[in-house]
Structure 1
């Protein structure tokens, strides 16, 4: 069973208006979307995205005229809103990263707990698989991906083993990759499988997760009405760093060199106001769903009607 992380906290942070228009950028299995729909009146509207065809199928099974479903990356937010005839929204929710059904379905290739085809694509209808990347990339490329996205200190040793192994036979399954990584990683933190960081890195690379996150944040702000909320839940430091930096920059009015001869009213206007402190899952939620332990939720509210480019 998929357990939605920070369900109550995220929906409350959106401050849902009964007749408002909202975006759930990562439908997953619909926990957040269903909770938003419960708070909407007949005049409200929810646009749900997901790049995973299985998640889209789950969303389309919901019979609710207020819900519109799109099979796309959340990085295509602006285009999807235009296609849906929506000029502005009252809130955007992004639950970033891989979902439990993707991890727990061994055939998807996300987890080293199963021996399965080395796929890792969230959208199985397009793009390069992890196996295809590892079959063609050189040692430098593989090292950079594993080091940058997995923060793995043995990235070079792992890349060397991968390139050497593929000369003998194609690297096609999660079991093959996990065995190679375990042979290359000499030490690891207690309780963590040596393959964890490498699998995370390849998943992020194959799905361009950080690129998509960096793309969607300014689009979300520009789509929000005055007072609309942006709520982002991230699950590791690379994601949270992008969100934290973006929200901090867009909530700061003075991004110009000091001592310029400008009056306060002439300074660039901030687009966002930070709402509260970062929120983490409580002990009870982590006990019930260990995957919630790394979740961090950040919230910001839209100020004014200028776009980010105009405000700068």
Structure 2
């Protein structure tokens, strides 16, 4: 399956891209969103893209455009990248697509998919950190249970974690389909609309790549580097990310309560804490979901720095 970016038309519409603006695509993936932004930029526009997956960087390097640069690394490195490029305070818009790309899912050797057999890895950057297989081998049942429960919201977390440990005592779990079979045997009742391994695979992927920590980090950073009028577009795909994004918007939707008698102006208040104006929440329409079933759980939120 070819990688299909989600909600591209809506992202372009609501980012309101300036011809000479500077933008950051924090999750390049297959490059669909970056290419769409480049089409809207003029000759003096700039686009910086980031991805921690070396495969995505290879795709990005094929874009021969003087307005475009791509960087290997986690998106929490954005401040260092922009400081090096001398553009830290000039960003007009930031895009965060928090989903996993079709490139990763379709490659059985990456270990993200529970539909195809492959090494139980799941690292966004295969050259960094440890694989899921290695982690399971050295961790304990309680930790595995908590990861499945917290990051997969799986009600059978205890049963699955116990079965995993029992199997590891006999033999290391090295493949995705080995893990799928363990999960299937551990779940007494399946949801007919969802594969029984969905939540556990999600949980392990989030944990092994520290995705929630990364999201918290980037949200704190972008508030500091964006200026008044800058747009933020965030696409989330599951309830954990979605809650974090919603709380982020809510937290920055109002200025802090300052006692009325203090000699402080509104401008000074804005310096204490920036404010976000929530613009729109968008979900894919039926047509897009039919063309790209992986888009069905996507939620796009558009905001603006005030």
User: Does structure 1 retain, via aligned residues, the 8 Å contact 2:280–2:303?
Assistant: no
Aligned pair partner of 2:253 in 242, 251, 268? 251
Name the SS of the counterpart of 1:230 in structure 2. strand
Aligned: 1:115 with 2:117: yes
Aligned to 1:15: 16
Structure 2: unaligned runs, 5 residues or longer: none
CA distance in structure 2 between the partners assigned to 1:99 and 1:183 by the alignment? 29
Superposed counterparts of 1:1-312, under 5 Å: 1-88=2-89, 89-255=91-257, 265=265, 268-269=269-270, 271-303=274-306
Residue 263 of structure 1: how far off its partner (Å): 7.8
CA distance in structure 2 between the partners assigned to 1:264 and 1:287 by the alignment? 54
Name the SS of the counterpart of 1:240 in structure 2. helix
Name the SS of the counterpart of 1:119 in structure 2. coil
CA distance in structure 2 between the partners assigned to 1:13 and 1:215 by the alignment? 24
User: Does structure 2 retain, via aligned residues, the 8 Å contact 1:221–1:230?
Assistant: no
User: Does structure 2 retain, via aligned residues, the 8 Å contact 1:271–1:302?
Assistant: yes
Aligned to 1:308: none
Name the SS of the counterpart of 2:227 in structure 1. strand
Residue 255 of structure 1: how far off its partner (Å): 4.9
User: Does structure 2 retain, via aligned residues, the 8 Å contact 1:115–1:173?
Assistant: yes
Name the SS of the counterpart of 1:36 in structure 2. helix
Name the SS of the counterpart of 2:129 in structure 1. coil
User: Does structure 1 retain, via aligned residues, the 8 Å contact 2:137–2:172?
Assistant: yes
CA distance in structure 1 between the partners assigned to 2:164 and 2:51 by the alignment? 32
CA distance in structure 2 between the partners assigned to 1:36 and 1:221 by the alignment? 21
Residue 191 of structure 1: how far off its partner (Å): 2.4
CA distance in structure 1 between the partners assigned to 2:239 and 2:226 by the alignment? 26
| CA deviation map 1:47-99 (0-9, x unaligned) | 00000000010001100010011001111111111122212211100101311
CA distance in structure 2 between the partners assigned to 1:233 and 1:156 by the alignment? 31
CA distance in structure 2 between the partners assigned to 1:282 and 1:178 by the alignment? 31
| CA deviation map 1:189-235 (0-9, x unaligned) | 21212111100100000111111111001211211122011110111
Of residues 220-229 and 34-43 in structure 1, the stretch that sits farther from structure 2 once superposed is 220-229
CA distance in structure 2 between the partners assigned to 1:144 and 1:255 by the alignment? 37
User: Does structure 1 retain, via aligned residues, the 8 Å contact 2:120–2:133?
Assistant: yes
Q: TM-score, normalised by structure 2?
A: 0.94
Structure 1: unaligned runs, 5 residues or longer: 304-312
CA distance in structure 1 between the partners assigned to 2:202 and 2:139 by the alignment? 17
User: Does structure 2 retain, via aligned residues, the 8 Å contact 1:255–1:268?
Assistant: no
What count of residue pairs does the alignment treat as equivalent?
A: 301
Q: TM-score, normalised by structure 1?
A: 0.92
Aligned to 1:310: none
Name the SS of the counterpart of 1:46 in structure 2. strand
